[in-house]
Each structure stands twice: as C-alpha cells, then as structure tokens.
C-alpha cells in the first residue's frame, strides 16, 4: 500500500514554464521532461495567462524579468483570475534576499536561482509532487463529499417508494410558489389525486402489487409534468399532488384530463373497483391567483374539498374547486 502511495505521489506533474529567453526556456524544459513531467512553455506573461486555463497546470515555473508583464504581475493575475491554488516557483538570476522576499509577497511559493542546479531542481520538484498529490486527493475528497451531500439532499426530498417529491419537500415548494406567484399576480394550480378504491386493490392483489401500482402512477405523472414550474409529489398513502405554476382554472382542467387519459392508457388491472376494470383516480383541482399571504393548508383545503366532490359524484373524474363547496355538507 505504501509503495502504491509513493507511486501516486511521484506521478508526473503538468508544469507551465514561463520564460522569455528561448535558450533558457528550452534547456529547462528538457530537464523537466527528463524527470518525467509534462511541460507547456510560454514565452511571455500574456501567453502564459492565455494557456493557463486550458493546460490546468500542477505547477508554474515563472521567470521574474520579462518585457510585457514581469513575473510578479503574472503571479498576481493568476491568483486573481484562477481561484484554485497552484504553486508558483519564481525563476531569477538575482539572489538578493529582498528579491526573494518580494517574490514570496507577490504570491510565489518558492524561488529558484538561474542557472538552476540539477539537484536543487529535482528536490524542489519532489516537494511540489507531494503538494500536487495532496491537492488532487483533497479535490477528490471534496468532489466525493459534494456528491454525497447531493445524494443526502435528494434522499431528504424524495419519497422512498415512488421517487417523486415527498410531502415535506412538496409543502416547501408550494409555499415558495405561493410567494412568487403572489408577488407577480400569477395564477397557480394545485391538483390533489386519490387512487379510487385502493384499499380493495391492496386487499385483493397484495401490498407488493399495491406498491407497484403507486410507482406506475407516480412515473406516469412525472412523465406528464416535466416543464419548469410543474411539480409532482406524494401527498401521503395513495394520494398524489401536482403543482402547476402559471396555470389558471381553464388550463388546470386540460391537465386534469391529461392525467385521466394517461391513466386510462396504463390499463392497470383493478377488477375490484366499482367504477372501472382498471385503476382510476379522483382529482380535486384548485386554481387561485394568490396574494402571497395564503398558507399551504388553505390551498390543500380547497383541493381537498374539490376532491371530495369528485368522489361524491362517482369517482374517476376531476372537479374544480368552487367557494360554494364550503357550504355543502362534508
């Protein structure tokens, strides 16, 4: 295991070599390649900055004295434009302590005096390889952590059985939609669906088939509502909810009919239903133009009242909410 780690730590680096003197640039590039590294050369600071993002180096070897942009200016530009830290080693024929201090202050991480000694170069690069290895490891761990967090966030918002949004997430989404639609005076629709005679389905076909039925319905709803502002969730048990942004009552009825038609096409067998030989749903539709101050409970209540009427009228249908329903006996 340790040998494998050493091999990874000593793996080749991508080195951006920046020097305006061609002979010195070529000689140093040959040494770097002999040590097994991948070298990209730039003859000026401007050229280095242009090549930097595409090459994505592990290390920058940067001459200080150049005509268009000196090394300090190039270093500052790299640190400002490319936030991920990459080590920079300055190259210079000057060995004055103040020059070395200025190089470190300018964003450099080390300093090599030209002409570069072979042993010193090899030692410096070995140290940089360890840093490059640790940086890659850290980046990988960060990527793994971000992926894990995404998975956790998905699990927290997803219904475990049907894979549509769970009740907590759909409630949160509805609250956000009430606020946004209220602020812009736009219509909003909530459709509450209930599988007709689902208890009889479970009692006769078993809970495994019952779960499969719910998954089929959820998948069908997800396939129907894929546009921005269309949200599908499991309300609870055999109930589902569809949120439709920018939809008034007229448009909502069209979508409710789409749901009915799609479930008819599925032909999920239900010989124990009292309304059809296939699985059907009753739908309560509530369309409002919110002020932004409504609660999710108020909208759910409206959709639920309409759903009750759909069941009362014989099931396998949709009913649009009307305020007069509040006067009717429940």
Supply the pLDDT for residue 6.
44
The encoded tokens of residue 123 equal 């030692």
Segments of the chain scoring below 70 in pLDDT: 1-10, 152, 154-155, 328-330
State whether 238 and 299 are in the same domain.
Answer: yes
Q: Which stretches of 75-199 are assigned E, i.e. beta strand? A: 88-92, 110-113, 188-195
State whether 126 and 243 are in the same domain.
Answer: no
Supply the pLDDT for residue 21.
92
Supply the pLDDT for residue 327.
79
User: Are the C-beta atoms of residues 305 and 270 closer than 8 Å to each other?
Assistant: no
Supply the pLDDT for residue 106.
85
Supply the pLDDT for residue 3.
40
d(CA 10, CA 101): 29
CA diameter of the chain: 95
Helix count and strand count (H, E) for the chain:
11, 10
User: Are the C-beta atoms of residues 117 and 111 closer than 8 Å to each other?
Assistant: no
Measuring CA to CA, which residue among 300, 264, 271, 265 is closest to residue 197? 271
Instruction: Note if 271 is an active site residue.
Output: no
The encoded tokens of residue 98 equal 């103040």
CA angle 178, 183, 185 (to 5 degrees): 85
State whether 101 and 181 are in the same domain.
Answer: no
CATH number for the domain that contains residue 274: 3.30.70.270
Q: Which of 149, 183, 204 is the last residue of a domain?
A: 149
Cβ contacts of residue 146 below 8 Å, gap of 6+? none
User: Are the C-beta atoms of residues 252 and 320 closer than 8 Å to each other?
Assistant: yes
State whether 176 and 123 are in the same domain.
Answer: no
Sole residue written with tokens 């509502």? 225
Threshold 0.75, pTM exceeds: no
- Of 40, 238, 239, 294, the active-site residue reads 238
Residue 116 DSSP code: P
Q: Convert the pLDDT of each residue in 209-246 to its tens digit.
A: 999 999 999 999 999 999 999 999 999 999 999 999 99
d(CA 120, CA 112): 8
Structural domain including 223 reads 167-327
Neighbours of 258 (CB within 10 A): 13
State whether 19 and 125 are in the same domain.
Answer: yes
């Amino acid at each position: 295991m340790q040998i494998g780690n050493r091999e990874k730590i000593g793996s080749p680096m991508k080195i951006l070599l920046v020097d305006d003197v061609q002979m010195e640039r070529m000689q140093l590039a040959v040494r770097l390649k002999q040590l097994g590294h991948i070298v990209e050369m730039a003859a000026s600071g401007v050229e280095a900055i242009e090549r930097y993002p595409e090459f994505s180096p592990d290390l920058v070897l940067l001459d200080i004295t150049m005509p268009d942009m000196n090394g300090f200016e190039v270093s500052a530009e790299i640190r400002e434009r490319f936030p991920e830290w990459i080590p920079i080693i300055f190259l210079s024929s000057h060995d004055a302590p103040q020059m070395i201090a200025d190089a470190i202050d300018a964003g450099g991480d080390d300093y090599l005096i030209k002409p570069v000694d072979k042993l010193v170069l090899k030692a410096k690069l070995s140290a940089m390889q360890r840093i490059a290895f640790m940086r890659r490891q850290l980046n990988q761990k960060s990527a793994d952590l971000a992926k894990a967090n995404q998975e956790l966030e998905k699990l927290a918002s997803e219904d475990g059985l049907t894979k549509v949004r769970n009740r907590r997430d759909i409630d949160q989404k509805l609250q956000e939609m009430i606020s946004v639609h209220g602020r812009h005076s736009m219509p909003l629709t909530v459709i509450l669906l209930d599988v007709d005679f689902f208890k009889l389905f479970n009692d006769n076909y078993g809970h495994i088939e019952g779960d499969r039925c719910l998954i089929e319905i959820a998948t069908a709803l997800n396939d129907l509502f894929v546009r921005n502002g269309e949200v599908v969730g499991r309300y609870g048990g055999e109930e589902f909810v569809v949120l439709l942004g920018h939809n008034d009552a007229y448009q909502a009825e069209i979508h409710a009919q789409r749901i009915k038609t799609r479930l008819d096409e599925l032909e999920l067998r239900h010989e124990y239903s009292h309304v059809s030989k296939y699985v059907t749903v009753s739908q309560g539709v509530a369309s409002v133009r919110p002020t932004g101050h409504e609660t999710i409970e108020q909208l759910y209540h409206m959709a639920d009242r309409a759903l009750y009427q759909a069941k009362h009228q014989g099931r396998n249908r949709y009913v649009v909410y009307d305020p007069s329903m509040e006067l009717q006996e429940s």
